Amino acid sequence: MTTTPNERTKPGTLTKAQTTPLMIKDRCDKCGAQAWMRATRGANETLVFCGHDGAKNLTALLAQGFTVDDQRQRLHNVVNEAKGVLVK
């Protein structure tokens, strides 16, 4: 993985579910739970995090120039869908 110094110092961006949806097979690089946030920098640096670790590291990731796609809203959708199933 090579990243230019410029990419490391420019501030990152926070987006909401703008990239390919994370799937159940995407596991947090920190703890192994299901991932809900994807951090990318340059062409070949990608990290994925669960909601907990993503939130904990968000400020540092943005400060290091990562673009962080926050898909945690999808977690709430999954919960609501599950509740809908239970109500039926």
Instruction: Give SS3 for 29.
Output: coil
Stretch touching Zn ion by CB under 5 A, among 10-18, 23-31, 38-46, 57-65 = 23-31
Burial class of residue 17 in the structure, from the number of CB atoms within 10 Å of its CB (0-12 exposed, 13-18 middle, 19+ buried): middle
Is residue 74 close enough to count as binding Zn ion by CB under 5 A? no
Is residue 50 close enough to count as binding Zn ion by CB under 5 A? yes
Is residue 56 close enough to count as binding Zn ion by CB under 5 A? no
Q: What 8-state DSSP symbol labels residue 20? A: S
Q: By the criterion CB under 5 A, which residues form the site for Zn ion?
A: 28, 30-31, 33, 50, 53
